[in-house]
Each structure stands twice: as structure tokens, then as C-alpha cells.
Amino acid sequence: MNSLWSIALATLAKDIRLEWRSKDALNSMLFFSLLVVVIFSFSFDPLAEESRHIVGGLIWVAFLFAAVVALNQTWARELRNQVLDAYRVSPAPANALFLAKALGNFIFVSALEALMTPLFVIFYNLRVLGPAWQLLPIVILGTWALVVNGTFFAAMSLRTRSREIMLPLLLFPISIPAVLGMVNATTSILTGEASAHFWLVLLLTYDVVFTTACLGFFGLVLHAE
């Protein structure tokens, strides 16, 4: 267990250092979601009252699309110089690699969300009517729901032709309940009309089920030869 976390943390530190120096994933995600925000606000141009009902959907769709940009780059980096093959033959547990990649993506997507949320607030004149502190667990659970399966399916689509297209095709159908949970939880807190309790439980269940499944199957996908 100890070696699992020490290897995971070492890989995570390496990924963060690489990202800090190149800022490839973060910059492309930021610019991409900025474009989505601007295009959405042109296309809908809502009043403040209406925007409360739709912005939960817009914000998560923007993050979902942007996350795919980062997720696609997760494993591509390891293909250069056969790094992934070195991982495969090394005695390090496969799950350490998976946890490091998933946590890394979680950090990158969370950073994106922290930077983009103020823009949404400004462009759509948002004022939260429900209990705002509940947005924090929604963001954490929702982001993890996106990245845990995203990291897994990105590893899966490594072995396919045109892998950049493959990832959303695999990820989006499976993510439907999670997206529904995030969007409805956010909307019910923004409007203050309903409780987000059910959706939080749904997101938590989704996270637990799929984190377990990903950890159970990742070794199989990594070593599938």
C-alpha cells in the first residue's frame, strides 16, 4: 500500500512539473472553454432570471468538453520514447499509475474550473439563491466523476485508430448519469427551488462504483497484449 502511494505521488509530481513547465493542457483547456462560454452567451443571451435555469447545463458542458482536451493528452505524453512500455514491464503496481494520472487530471480540471467559474458569473450575472456551500461537494464529486472514467477510457482508446475521436465516443454515453447529476444539482442550488440532496448521493454512488471499477480493470487494460 505504501509503495502504491509513493509511486503514485512520484508520477503525479512528475506530471505536475511537466504541466507547470509546458502548460499545454491547461492553456488549451482554458482557451477552449473560454470559446465555449463566449459562443454560448452569444447564442442564448439570457436574462438573469432565465440564466439561473440554464447555466448549470452550460457550465458543465463547457467543462466536459474542455476536460476531454486534457484527458486526450494524458497518455499521449507517455507514448513518446516508449515510456508506457517501460511502465508495463516495471514491477510498479498498475493502479499507482492510474491514480497518479486521475489525480493529475483532477487537479488540472479543478484549476480550469476555478479560473472559469468567475467568468460564467460575470457573463451571466449569476447570483446563487440556494445554499452556496453545497456547490463545493458538487464540483469535487462531479469533476472526479468526469476524470476517473475519462482517464480510464483515454487509456483504452490509446490502442485504437483515431484515438482523439474515440475518447468522447466512449466517455459521453457512460457519463450521462453523472452529467445529469451535476447539472441538476447545480441548477437546483442556483435557483434555490429544490434540494440537491438526491443528486449528491447519485454523484457519490457514481464515483464510488466507477472508481472501484476503474481500479479493478486498469491493470487489465494496461497489460492487454
Partner 1 sequence: MKRAFPIFAVLTTLLLVYALNQALSIVHIPGVAPTERTMGDVQRIFYYHVPSAWTTFLLFSVNLVASVVYLIRRNPVADAVAVVTGEVGVVFCTVVLVTGPIWARPVWGIWWTWDVRLTSTLVLWLIYVSYLVLRRFSDSAQTPVLAAALAVFGALDVPLVYFSIWFFRTQHPQPVIGGGGSIDPRMLHVLLINWLAFSCFAFLICWSRYRLERLRREVEEAQALESLLGPEGVPAPAAGSKMPLPRGQQ
List interacting residues with partner 1 (CB under 8 A): 149, 156-157, 159-162, 166, 169-170, 172-174, 176-177, 180-181, 198, 202, 205-206, 209-210, 213, 217, 220-221, 224-225
**Where do we find the cell 497489460?**
223
Nearest to 181 by CA among 143, 129, 152, 124: 143
Pick 34 or 204: Cβ nearer partner 1: 204
Quick check: 220 and 94 in contact, CB under 8 A? Answer: no
Quick check: 37 and 112 in contact, CB under 8 A? Answer: no
Pick 60 or 206: Cβ nearer partner 1: 206
Quick check: 96 and 8 in contact, CB under 8 A? Answer: yes
From the CB of 57, what's the least distance to partner 1, in Å?
A: 14
Pick 112 or 202: Cβ nearer partner 1: 202
For the chain, the C-alpha Rg in angstroms (whole number) is: 18
Pick 40 or 210: Cβ nearer partner 1: 210
From the CB of 48, what's the least distance to partner 1, in Å?
A: 26
Distance between CA 166 and CA 216 in Å, rounded? 22
From the CB of 102, what's the least distance to partner 1, in Å?
A: 15
C-alpha dihedral sign at 102, 109, 162, 166: positive
Distance between CA 16 and CA 99 in Å, rounded? 14
From the CB of 119, what's the least distance to partner 1, in Å?
A: 29
Question: Is 224 buried (19+), middle (13-18) or exposed (0-12) by CB count in 10 A?
Answer: exposed
From the CB of 40, what's the least distance to partner 1, in Å?
A: 22
Pick 116 or 168: Cβ nearer partner 1: 168
From the CB of 172, what's the least distance to partner 1, in Å?
A: 8
Pick 29 or 147: Cβ nearer partner 1: 147
